[in-house]
Amino acid sequence: MKTEKATFAAGCFWGVEAAFRQIKGVKSTQVGYMGGSMKNPTYEDVCTDRTGHAEAVEVTFDPKKVSYEKLLDVFWNNHDPTQMNRQGPDTGTQYRSVIFYRNSKQKTAAEKSKLQLQKSLKYKNRKIATEIIQATDFYRAEEYHQQYLEKKGLSTCRM
C-alpha cells in the first residue's frame, strides 16, 4: 500500500488530530509544529509565539481510500478559516489556519478548494485567512500531545 502525507494547521492540534483520525483511509496522525524558524521547538517554545510555528497535524493516508480533496473538506469544516491567528479561545500565530502542501498537486487542490469556499459565501463577507504554503520540516510534538483527546476519553475540545 502506497501512502501519502498531508499537513494542516487549524488551531489547537488536539481537536484537529481527532477529526482526521475519524476518516476512513487515514492510516495515522501525529501532532507537531511546522512553519517556523527554530529547529526542534518544544511546546513551550511554540507557546511563546516567537518561533513562527503553527500547531499542525501530519496525516498519513491511503489515496486509494480517501482523496486529498476529502481531507481538505475535513480541514475546512472543522475550524473557522476566517480567523487570523486564533481559533476559539486560543490566540497566537501558533493557532493560525494553514494548509502545508507537499507537491504541486496538493497546492493546486488547496488553492481551488479555498477559492470555492470563498465564492460559496458560507462566511458571508469575511475573508478566508488560511495560508497555503509549502511544507517545511515537521517537528513531532511531545508524546503527551499525541492523541491527547483519546487519552483523556474525550471526542472533541470545542467550546
Q: Is 115 within the bounds of a domain? A: yes
Domain total of the chain: 1
Q: Is 54 within the bounds of a domain? A: yes
What confidence score (pLDDT) does residue 153 get? 80
Q: Is 158 within the bounds of a domain? A: no
Q: Is 88 within the bounds of a domain? A: yes
User: Using one digit for the tens of pLDDT, what is the confidence trace for 30-69?
Assistant: 999 999 999 999 999 999 999 999 999 999 999 999 999 9
User: Residue 138 carries which side chain, given as an amino acid letter?
Assistant: F
- The reply to whether 12 belongs to the active site is yes
Range of the domain at 105: 4-151
- Give the residue among 150, 106, 139, 132 at the shortest CA–CA distance from 5: 106
Q: Identify the CATH number of the domain in which residue 49 sits.
A: 3.30.1060.10
List 6, 12, 98, 117, catalytic entry? 12
Joined together, the cell numbers standing for residue 86 give: 486564533
| Residue ranges of the chain with per-residue pLDDT less than 70 | 155, 158-159
What confidence score (pLDDT) does residue 152 get? 80
User: Residue 121 carries which side chain, given as an amino acid letter?
Assistant: L
DSSP letters of 39-95?
Answer: SS--HHHHHTT-S--EEEEEEEE-TTTS-HHHHHHHHHHTS-TT-SSEETTEESGGG
